[in-house]
C-alpha cells in the first residue's frame, strides 16, 4: 500500500521530469527519486537529453552509498524500459541494484515497453506499484501519450484576434494585435513544441520567421503548407536557418535544413483542394514530431476545428478593433477551460476533452 508521503516523492519526481522539457523529444519526460530507509531522499535524477542516460540511471548513480539501494524505494514517473534502445534497460538496472520497491506514476504505452518493464521487475521479486498521481503524469507527458495512443502529434492552435473578431486587416494586411507580454509568451510556447505550422497565406503575407527569438530553448521545426510553391525565395521560412518542411503538390529537391514533401493531387472526381491535414499529420508522426503549434492562417485553423482534430486552443483577445478584415475562426464551444490576463490581452484556453 502507498505510504502517506508517497505522493510528495512522486510530485518531486514529476517536477524533476519537467526540467527536461524540449530536450528529450520525441522521448517522454521522466523523473526519478530514491527514498532511503530513513524515509528521506538520498538520490534523484531526470532524463536530461534525448539519447542520454535515463532518469533511473541518473538517480541511482547520485546515491552516495550504493548499499542503501537494497533498502530503498524508487519513485519513477514512467514505467522503466525493458528493451535495448540508445541505453540499456532500466528495469534490469533496478533489478541488478537490488532495489526492493518501485513506485510508478504511469504505465508506458510504447509497444517496446507496454508492461514488460513492470513484469520483469515483478518476476525478479521487486514490489511494484503503479498509478500514483497518474493524471498529473499524463498531463506532463500529454504529447508523448498522444503520439503513442492516437498516432498523431499533439496540436495546439493559437491566434490573436481583435475585440471585434478579426485576425488581420482586409486582404490579409498584417496588423499587430497582441501586446508585448503575449508576444513573449508565444515565443516561450514555440520552445515547448516540436514544430510550428502555418498555411500559405500566412507565410506569404506575414513573412514570419517562425522561431523563438525572445525565449531560450530549442527552436521548433518550421512547417509550411505551400501547395503550389508560391513563396518567393527571399522569404524567411526558406532561408535554411532552422529545420523546415514545406508541404506541396509540386516536386522540388530538398536542401540543407529545407525539406520538400510532395503530397498527391486530388484523385479524379475529388474537390480540387483536398484536405491535406491527414497526410501531413501522418508524415509528422512518421518523423517523430510529437507536437505542433499551429499559428495560422484561418483556413488551416478552421479545417482542424471543423474536423475536431485539435487538443488545445489558445486565443488572445485584444482590445484593438479593426471593424473589417479577415475573420477569426468561430469555435462554437460551450465554454473556455481557463482565462487569464496577459498584459492588455485576455488569454482564453480551450481543451478538447
Q: What is the CATH number of the domain that holds 112?
A: 3.40.140.10
- pLDDT band at 85; cut points 50, 70, 90: low
Place of cell 488572445: 316
pLDDT in tens, 214-238: 999 899 999 999 999 999 999 999 9
- What pLDDT does 331 receive? 87
Lowest mean pLDDT, pick from 3-12, 138-147, 189-198: 3-12
CA distances from 262 to 100, 115, 221, 226, 247 (A): 53, 38, 18, 10, 6
Catalytic site positions? 56
The answer on 162 and 19 residing in a single domain is no
Read out DSSP for 75-123?
A: EEEEPPP-S-SSS--HHHHHHHTT--EEEEEE---STTTTTHHHHHHHH
Instruction: Answer with the one of 98, 130, 147 that is the final residue of a domain.
Output: 147
> How many residues are given for the chain?
353
Please, which pLDDT band fits residue 244 given cuts at 50, 70 and 90?
very high
Over the stretch 154-202, which tens digit does the pLDDT of each residue have?
999 999 999 999 999 998 888 899 999 999 999 999 999 999 999 999 9
Domains held by the chain: number: 2
Enclosing H/E stretch for 56: helix 55-61
Q: How would DSSP label each residue in 123-182?
A: HTT-EEEE-TTHHHHHHHTHHHHHHHHTSS-EEEEEEEE-TTSEEE-GGG-----S-HHH
What average pLDDT does the segment 121-132 reach? Answer: 96
Q: Are residue 154 and residue 108 in the same domain, yes or no?
A: no
0.85 exceeded by pTM:
yes
Within 13 Å and on the Cβ side, how many CA atoms surround 314?
A: 19
Pairwise CA distance, residues 53 & 104, whole Å: 18
Do both 139 and 162 map to the same domain? no
Q: Is residue 1 assigned to a domain?
A: no
| In a shared domain, residues 108 and 44 | yes
The answer on 222 and 209 residing in a single domain is yes
Output the pLDDT for position 309: 94
Phi, psi of 244 (to 5 degrees): -140, 135
Whether residue 134 sits in one domain with residue 30: yes
Asked whether residue 82 is domain-assigned, the answer is yes
Is the same domain home to 143 and 179?
A: no
Does residue 198 share a domain with residue 183?
yes
**pLDDT for 12-51, tens place per residue?**
999 999 999 989 988 999 999 999 999 999 999 999 999 8
Domain of 224, CATH number, reads 3.40.430.10
Which string of DSSP letters, residue by residue, matches 215-251?
S-SPPPEEEEE-TT--S-TTSGGGS-SS-EEEEESS-
Looking at the fold, whether 107 and 121 belong to one and the same domain comes out as: yes
Percent of the residues in the chain that have a pLDDT greater than 90, as a whole number = 81
User: Residue 1 has what pLDDT?
Assistant: 54
Residues 6+ away with beta carbon under 8 Å from 134: 105, 106
Give the torsion through C-alpha atoms of 80, 85, 88, 90, to 10 deg.
0
The radius of gyration of the chain from alpha carbons, rounded to an integer in Å, stands at 23
Position 4 scores a pLDDT of: 61
State whether 154 and 131 are in the same domain. no
Crossing angle of the two packed helices 298-306 and 277-286, in degrees rounded to 10: 90
Provide the residue range defining the domain that includes 263: 150-351
Mean pLDDT of 59-63: 97
How is residue 88 written as a grid cell?
Answer: 540499456
Contact in structure between 82 and 120 (CB atoms under 8 Å): yes
Q: Do residues 121 and 91 touch, judged by C-beta distance below 8 A?
A: yes
Q: What is the pLDDT of residue 88?
A: 78
92, 122, 147 — which closes off a domain?
147
- 273 has a pLDDT exceeding 50: no
Q: Check residue 172 and give its pLDDT.
A: 84
Both 165 and 111 in one domain: the answer is no
Residue 76 has phi, psi (to 5 degrees) of -135, 140
Task: Choose one of 147, 165, 184: the last residue of a domain.
Answer: 147
Q: Specify if 301 maps to a domain.
A: yes
Kindly state the cell numbers that stand for 58.
541518473
> Are 135 and 155 members of one domain?
no
Q: How far apart are CA 333 and CA 339, in angstroms?
A: 14
Mean pLDDT over 331-345 rounds to: 89
Q: What is the spatial distance between Cα 75 and Cα 99, in angstroms, rounded to a whole number?
A: 11
Read off the DSSP letter of residue 46: E
pLDDT of residue 268 exceeding 60, the answer is no
The reply to whether 218 falls in a domain is: yes
Amino acid at each position: 500500500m502507498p505510504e502517506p508521503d508517497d505522493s510528495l516523492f512522486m510530485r518531486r519526481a514529476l517536477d524533476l521530469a519537467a526540467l527536461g522539457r524540449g530536450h528529450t523529444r520525441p522521448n517522454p519526460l521522466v523523473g526519478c527519486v530514491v527514498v532511503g530507509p530513513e524515509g528521506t531522499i538520498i538520490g534523484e535524477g531526470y532524463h536530461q537529453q534525448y539519447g542520454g542516460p535515463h532518469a533511473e540511471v541518473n538517480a541511482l548513480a547520485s546515491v552516495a552509498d550504493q548499499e542503501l539501494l537494497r533498502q530503498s524505494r524508487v519513485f519513477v514517473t514512467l514505467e522503466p524500459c525493458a528493451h535495448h534502445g540508445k541505453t540499456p534497460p532500466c528495469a534490469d538496472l533496478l533489478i541488478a541494484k537490488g532495489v526492493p520497491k518501485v513506485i510508478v506514476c504511469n504505465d508506458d504505452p510504447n509497444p517496446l515497453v507496454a508492461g514488460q518493464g513492470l513484469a520483469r521487475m515483478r518476476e525478479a521479486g521487486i514490489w511494484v506499484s503503479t498509478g500514483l498521481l497518474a493524471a498529473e503524469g499524463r498531463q506532463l507527458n500529454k504529447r508523448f501519450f498522444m503520439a503513442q495512443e492516437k498516432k498523431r502529434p499533439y496540436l495546439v492552435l493559437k491566434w490573436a484576434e481583435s475585440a471585434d473578431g478579426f485576425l488581420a486587416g482586409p486582404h490579409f494586411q498584417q496588423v499587430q494585435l497582441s501586446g508585448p507580454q503575449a508576444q513573449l509568451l508565444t515565443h516561450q510556447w514555440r520552445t515547448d513544441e516540436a514544430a510550428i505550422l502555418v498555411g500559405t497565406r500566412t507565410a506569404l503575407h506575414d513573412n514570419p520567421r517562425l522561431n523563438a527569438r525572445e525565449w531560450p530553448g530549442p527552436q521548433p521545426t518550421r512547417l509550411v503548407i505551400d501547395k503550389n510553391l508560391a513563396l518567393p525565395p527571399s522569404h524567411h521560412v526558406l532561408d535554411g536557418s532552422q529545420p523546415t518542411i514545406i508541404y506541396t503538390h509540386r516536386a522540388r529537391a530538398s536542401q540543407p535544413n529545407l525539406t520538400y514533401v510532395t503530397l498527391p493531387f486530388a484523385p479524379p472526381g475529388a474537390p480540387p483542394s483536398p484536405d491535406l491535414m491527414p497526410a501531413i499529420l501522418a508524415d509528422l508522426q512518421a518523423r517523430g514530431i510529437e507536437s505542433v503549434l499551429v499559428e495560422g492562417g484561418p483556413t488551416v485553423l478552421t479545417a482542424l476545428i471543423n474536423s475536431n482534430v485539435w487538443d488545445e486552443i489558445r486565443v488572445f483577445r485584444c482590445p484593438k478593433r479593426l471593424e473589417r478584415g479577415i475573420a477569426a475562426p468561430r469555435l462554437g464551444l460551450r465554454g473556455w477551460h481557463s482565462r487569464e490576463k496577459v498584459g492588455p490581452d485576455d488569454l482564453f484556453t480551450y481543451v478538447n476533452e
